[in-house]
Structure 1
Amino acid sequence: MTRRPHHTAARQAAEGFTAAVCRAQDGCGTADGRVLEALRGATQRVPFGLLVATGCLGRHLHCPHHEGNQVPRTGHRVVVQPCSRDRTPLGPAVAFGPLMDPEQAEALAVWLAEGLHQGHRPPRRLLAVRPSRAPEP
């Protein structure tokens, strides 16, 4: 039986991450600034961590501004993708939020700084809220 070679990036441990934080003015961007400060702290602890402020992340997670979604409006939404030193993605992006208090953001920051590169799963309680379903007729 012939074995297929493993892709180099798949065997590589994540040395960093790119975290995109929603800063939409009428939504996530109005959340508690202390949450954003905790996330900034994570990028300072990880040499190859990158925090990016962006507009609505509705394409990647279930934004409360999309009609029919009944999720809390306040709180930061964050999409994180593990990467190598040269910013090569090393796995799927993971959506978090809403992060509504600094303790939640600090838990995410700890995972980014300590757990991500060790292959630990992210804290389940911080994962993004799934979309609300319309009631069946």
Structure 2
Amino acid sequence: MTARPHHTTARQAAEGFTAAVCRAEDGCGAADGRVLEALRAATRRTPSGLLVATGCLGRHLRCPHQEGNQVPRAGHRVVVQPCARDRTPLGPALAFGPLTDPEQADALAHWLAEGLGQGRRPPRRLLAVRPSHRPRQ
């Protein structure tokens, strides 16, 4: 019997996640701190969870701050990569936000801590819209 190469399937339940949260000073970093605290709490409850503070996530989702727009109420943008215990990615990264209030953050945190590992879909109302094309230069 020959060994098959290690690979993952989309149906494999995630044991953890890596969540990148925008902390850009001119944009999402100015958002409500209670939102970030809910994500920190979800990460602490998930043994294989990892929360990363990063700069602008404009490459991964539409960021109104990156385009110079003034958004009256900044919200956190988050990109989540479901993964196995060994940090092997399981499926595509998911973009969320803007998260503007603690209730939204609690819903995402609940899904990260409990729903993701059970194969549940994320809360649809929290998913961010990705750009459909790259702007021409």
What TM bracket, shorter-length normalisation?
0.7 to 0.9
Structure 1 unpaired stretches of 5+: 133-137
Alignment of structure 1 residues 97-116 onto 2, 5 Å: 97-116=97-116
TM-score (norm 2): 0.84
Count of matched residue positions in the alignment of Structure 1 and Structure 2: 128
Runs of at least 5 residues in structure 2 that lack an aligned partner in the other structure: 133-137
Matched, 1:89 2:81: no
Alignment CA distance shift 1:92-1:131 (3 Å): closer
Give, in angstroms, the shift of residue 9 of structure 1.
1.6
Deviation at 1:65, TM superposition (A): 2.1
Pair 1:8 & 2:7 matched = yes
Q: Distance in 2 between matches of 1:72 and 1:13?
A: 38
State the alpha-carbon separation in 2 of the partners of residues 106 and 86 from structure 1. 26
**The residue matched to 2:8 in structure 1 has which SS?**
helix
Describe the shift of the 1:8–1:44 C-alpha distance in structure 2 as closer, same or farther (beyond 3 A). Answer: same
Quote the offset at 1:12 in angstroms. Answer: 3.4
User: In the alignment, which residue of structure 1 is the partner of 2:34?
Assistant: 34
Aligned-pair identity in percent equals 84
Alpha-carbon distance, 1:103 to partner: 0.7
Root-mean-square deviation over aligned CA pairs: 2.3
Preserved contact between residue 17 and residue 83 of structure 2 (Cα < 8 Å): yes
Give the alignment's TM-score, normalised by structure 1: 0.84
Alignment match, 1:78: 78
Kept after mapping to 2: 8 A contact 1:27/1:74: yes
**Cα distance, 1:105 vs. partner?**
0.3
Structure 2 residue identity aligned to 1:9:
T
CA positional deviation for 1:131: 5.2
Moved more, 64-73 or 85-94: 64-73
Distance 1:38 1:62 in 2: 23
Whichever residue aligns with residue 92 of structure 1, its letter is P
